[in-house]
Structure 1
């Protein structure tokens, strides 16, 4: 494949390991100590993937965050932020026995399709994500036993935690490609 002028050149900010997003000393995800126990390990992985998503969005303008970089997909980095806010909210529906919480952005795929390249929309999406993450974390903190079954469907807390990690990991892979298409920056 030839390199066209509208394709950014690949680059990394890292120099120690040029295939990484940042050098170990500059990477907030880098830790010398491995967590003890299953619950702490699950939280550590979730925290790192959440941080990775934010890092992939850093330094970009609203237009870049809202750009659908891989047509015909409706995905954008902003759409991923909105989608994960929506998903965090939905996970609380899995935990709860009550009526489901209403969607944040509207009907199916509105989290992706409804993105607008406006800074206020970007700010709102990141606030939504932070709020929904905190609310889901708080709801799950009431269930520290990974074997406990919660909600109408009796889902195990362990399964819910692993599903959350899976969702973020999957979308961080999408974020890798979206970011590379936007400005050429690569790295894990």
Structure 2
């Protein structure tokens, strides 16, 4: 963008310079093999993408979190957090036959447009995301059969879990680029 200074690229990692953090400092690393079974594997993958998004936002102030990518895009790290809270809520609508839950941020694109440089907005976004993640996780725990079809559209639980992973993975890719534009920090 005209007039903006391009940040120097850097990483906190010392072992592998293309990584976000050293292996011993990375909360996504675990000791030993992952969980057994399809459900455990899917849950581990989702947990790691959720952690990645949080890591990409760590250490930034509200202005940095709300900084937009490139015009005309409204995308920002804070917008991604709000968007993922919104879609977690929407996925709860997929598994019910009842009335849908209302949108968290109102109108279409309210998640990104309302991502402004304000500490209260940033704090609320992270609380919203955690609350919506926990709510959907709790509701999905009632369906141990990944092939079970639920909701008005009869979506399979497996399909919903895979779609959640895909959504986080795609937006973690966006977060990589957004974070690098904010302060130059690179890494997976």
CA 114–59 in structure 1, closer or farther in 2 if over 3 Å, else same: same
What is aligned with 1:168? 168
CA shift for structure 1 position 5:
6.6
Unaligned runs of 5+ in 2: none
The 5-angstrom pairing of residues 15-34 of structure 1 reads 15-31=14-30, 32-34=32-34
For residue 10 of structure 2, what is the aligned residue in structure 1? 11
Shift of 1:33: 1.9
SS at match of 2:134: helix
Q: What's the Cα RMSD here?
A: 1.0
Partner of 1:151: 151
What's the CA shift for 1:35? 2.0
Superposition pairs of residues 78-117 of structure 1, within 5 angstroms: 78-117=78-117
Q: How far did residue 75 of structure 1 move?
A: 0.3
Which ranges in structure 1 are unaligned for 5 or more consecutive residues?
none
Indicate conservation of the 8 Å contact 1:35/1:41, yes or no: yes
Q: Corresponding residue for 2:125?
A: 125
* 1:70 and 1:178 in contact (8 A); partners too: no
Contact 1:63 1:118 in 2 (8 A): yes
Task: Note the C-alpha offset of 1:61.
Answer: 0.3
State the aligned residue count: 185
TM-score, normalised to structure 1's length? 0.96
**What's the secondary structure of 2:36's corresponding residue?**
coil
**26-35 vs 36-45, which moves further:** 26-35
**Structure 1 residues 5 and 72: alpha-carbon distance in aligned structure 2, compared to 1, 3 A threshold:** closer
Aligned structure 1 segments of 4 or more residues deviating by more than 6 angstroms: none
